[in-house]
Amino acid sequence: MAGQYGYVPLGRHLVSYGIIEKLLAWFLKYLNGRSHCTRVGKTFSIFLPMLSGVIQGSVIGPLLFLIFINDLVEILASIGISVMPLLYDTSLGSI
């Protein structure tokens, strides 16, 4: 979903919850433009852009995750898949 919300599909969900203008801009700035590298011992990988996800260990991460997957239960139920959402995971099964 590049464009209005950058690479943040969560942007449209935030808008549907009434998060607009300055607060939406704050969330999108928080979620866009991040990079990541990996360290093994004293060696670091190159930095690569992060195009999805929220910062691990953040206070707001669980809330953003729940907002993002809120539609998931209904969408999957409409095609015959039951979902039991957990905090950072989902459990799929047939109805």
Of 75, 69, 76, which is closest to residue 94 (Cα–Cα)? 76
The pTM of the whole model exceeds 0.85: no
Each residue's pLDDT tens digit, 29-44: 888 888 889 999 999 9
The contacts of residue 71 (CB under 8 Å, 6+ apart) are 13
* Angstrom distance (rounded) from CA 54 to CA 75: 22
* Angstrom distance (rounded) from CA 79 to CA 69: 16
Given a contact cutoff of 8 angstroms between Cβ atoms, the answer to whether 94 and 82 are in contact is: yes
Has residue 1 got a pLDDT over 50?
no
* pLDDT-derived band at 88, boundaries 50, 70, 90: low
Given a contact cutoff of 8 angstroms between Cβ atoms, the answer to whether 62 and 88 are in contact is: yes
